[in-house]
Chains A and B, each alone.
Chain A
């Protein structure tokens, strides 16, 4: 019997219906305002699509409303691997995710919002995941377009029709700032999803070439430009990871790595490491914009601080991006926020981004 995980964040989405922007830290307030749980129903809608496979499936889940009740309601056989506190918190999501993976699930279906996806990242989940959209904030492309689509995607994956996977960003906005009408997106990490652009969020404007094909094309162009005898600092992100993969080098997905002459020189550098290396020899910086707002510097790569930026300068900066990522900006500039206006100004203005083999787009970089 095959095992899949089911994880439901039962309070996800409650804040939205009562005018709270998100539910992080406000579940009680949402309930007081009369919000009803919606994640369990959405999880059941996803499971309904999976029912044809239920004879062969064992659902690993946390007890109660965090998955067990929903799976039982849809007639699945269930194995509980974690018992949450009566009033669930993000700690329970974290622990349940760990337990589900440890128990041997080959796929994790989870219902929640961006906060829930963040918890999975914190838990270090490595198996493929499919998000059932149930939260207030759904910015991470780990979520399917609809609950039924999540079930459909899980179905395709389990039947072997969609085994190819990819890593996608988990982003979230600072809810406290959002409530004050300030939107600030941060990249928290990556989750693996079955690669299916018709069923996942942000798939609507997909290019004819798959993201993987575009990444390879961008990596090939960048690899052609690597000069012998120079250092290249490789920033975080899946686009830059494709370069490292292409070179056959180990990569720190969320960190900065240093390469030279086709070899890994140092992994996961901190700001002090970077500054030391920059003084050693001619150093180039290879970045990809992160998160929904298109931050080039200052979000998710703070180790590339103002001193580094000033030392390297605009002429030795390479920007890699898929066409979709740049199109999604809708004319807005890529943002830099190093905390030092002088450093920001040093990389602001027009420059080129590599978008494929022999293809570049003119982009504008700005501090605001």
Chain B
């Protein structure tokens, strides 16, 4: 037998599955069924009288246009689609930029799938839900300890909804003071997540963006010029997408407070900060954590997720109801906030995704306080190992403050590579797919030229990091040796280059099957 050679860590033989699978509606065959439901017994039919009890306006005139399809075909359909994704369980998860998700221990999935959890209903009586209520209550306390805040809600279903929650807290606070019409502006930064602008905008606030100064920090002079009697709050991430920690953040929060505004901290990703800094000590009045990003509950393809919003005590009366409390003997739902005339009352039903909170609780309990601090140290170490290795390459650079340590991620620039080879960051992104790896550029529009944003978290081992680095180097070398082949990538992925020129044309796009049929059939 031939000896297996593993000396080259780059997976040049990778090829992703390509099924050319139709949309499920196209698989529909008239009369085909997945489940044949028995007709109800006569007595049941008579007792319910079918749809007779429904008023006419609630009754469908036609059957719903659902696909008619057998069980094995459904299974095959979704299994094939699953093979056409690059999920966190099959690739080295470094290249999702600010959206990188860490490893979620499978044992916690089993925990969340226990019948005691799986079969619960959020409307069952509190006396029968004491276990999960205790877990939510205690996780809430851990978050208070980690952030320095006084209270948390688990209600928001993800990061953007959590930011909407923070914006709602700000709005409620000023409404309670009769200032909600005057205080209608929120200041954020170019390098904070776009949702830090979008969610407050949805709440009705006007958004003012700050550009970075020469060192990449939010421009303090511009900030001072932006603050006025209309300013409601400052929404910011720290570190921002550049990975550079703004050590002057207290200067910003203090200035905001002096002018009557509040401060909200986007801590969706607190990987580099656990046990190191706390939002409250940095002068923030509210903050949030993405449990799927920092606390190891999986992302779940955009849901179910949880964006836990915390706040200082003076904002607690505006948090959504119910809040789970403990009277010394039992846990109970406190609906007092639902009566607050200025509060947001609800941001989502019930107490958020309980399984996600359970996985978070299990992860925190497994690590303990020291373990959480170790998570931060490892995430920062991993990122700076990657940083050092990539910065050795002459065509890779990182804007702002040469040599400055990055925290948990970094936005690099490949401007020089583009100048020398004609290969840009979008080309590299497509080519990395040919090796089964993600690679992220930046939010649009690009601020850093030819951006590359990498975030390793604490998950990858040194061997994982080295494989990712070697693969990147392989692609960079190809940019010099065979740029045309690289620019034609991907070659081994699910699909090849798509014509995206019409993506911004409302006349042509079709984001649903119904829209597609309307426009093209």
Contacts and interface: CB of A to CB of B under 8 A. Distances in A.
Interface of A: 156, 161-162, 164, 196-199, 204-210, 213, 323-324, 326-327, 330-331, 349-352, 355, 358-364
A205 B206 contact: no
Given A359-B201, A362-B222, A209 B504 contact: yes
Interface string B150-193: 00000000000000000000000000000000000000001000
A82 B449 CA distance: 43
Nearest to A200: B501
19 contacts: A156-B501, A162-B502, A196-B501, A204-B426, A208-B504, A327-B446, A331-B211, A331-B214, A349-B225, A350-B222, A358-B205, A358-B206, A359-B197, A359-B207, A360-B206, A362-B222, A362-B223, A362-B226, A363-B211
B208 interface: yes
B221 A213 contact: no
Contact of A204 (B212, B424, B507): B424
Interface residues of B, number: 33
B424 A213 contact: no
Contacts of A156: 501
A177 B306 CA distance: 58
Contact of A198 (B190, B221, B445, B500): B500
Contact of B505 (A210, A323, A330, A355): A210
Contacts of B106: none
Contact of B212 (A161, A326, A331, A363): A331
A162 B190 CA distance: 32
Contacts of B214: 331
Nearest to B204: A358
Given A210-B505, A358-B205, A362-B208, 9 more contacts: A197-B501, A207-B444, A208-B504, A330-B449, A359-B197, A360-B209, A361-B190, A361-B211, A362-B209
Contacts of A360: 206-209
B447 interface: yes
B27 to A, nearest CB: 29
Given A355-B209, A359-B201, A361-B209, A207 B501 contact: no
A352 B187 CA distance: 12
Interface in B224-253: 225-226
A180 B502 CA distance: 43
B210 interface: yes
B219 interface: yes
A222 to B, nearest CB: 13
Interface string B493-518: 00000011110110100000000000
Contacts, number: 80
Given A204-B424, A360-B209, A350 B446 contact: no
A207 B445 contact: yes
A362 B220 CA distance: 11
A199 B499 CA distance: 11
B207 A205 contact: no
A202 to B, nearest CB: 11
Contacts of B221: 350
Contact of B501 (A198, A209, A363): A198
B445 A327 contact: yes
User: Which of A196, A197, A213, A358 has the largest number of chain B CB atoms within 10 A?
Assistant: A358
B222 A364 contact: yes
A324 B249 CA distance: 27
Given A331-B212, A359-B201, A361-B208, A352 B226 contact: yes
A197 B503 CA distance: 10
A209 B500 CA distance: 13
A123 to B, nearest CB: 28
A323 B207 CA distance: 13
Contacts of A210: 504-505
Nearest to A359: B207
B207 A362 contact: no
Q: Which of A197, A209, A355, A359 has the most CB of B within 10 A?
A: A359
Given A205-B445, A350-B221, A352-B226, A358 B211 contact: no
Contacts of B205: 358
Contacts of A196: 501
A364 B224 CA distance: 13
Contact of A208 (B208, B444, B499): B444
A362 B211 CA distance: 7
| Residue from B223, B446, B499, B500 with most neighbouring chain A CB atoms (10 Å) | B446
A136 B207 CA distance: 41
Contacts of B501: 156, 162, 196-199
Most chain A CB inside 10 Å of its own CB: which residue of B197, B222, B223, B500? B222
B222 A213 contact: no
A209 B504 CA distance: 6
A234 B455 CA distance: 46
A213 B506 CA distance: 10
Interface in B242-301: none
Contacts of B500: 198
B210 A362 contact: yes
Contacts of A323: 445
Nearest to B200: A358
A195 to B, nearest CB: 8
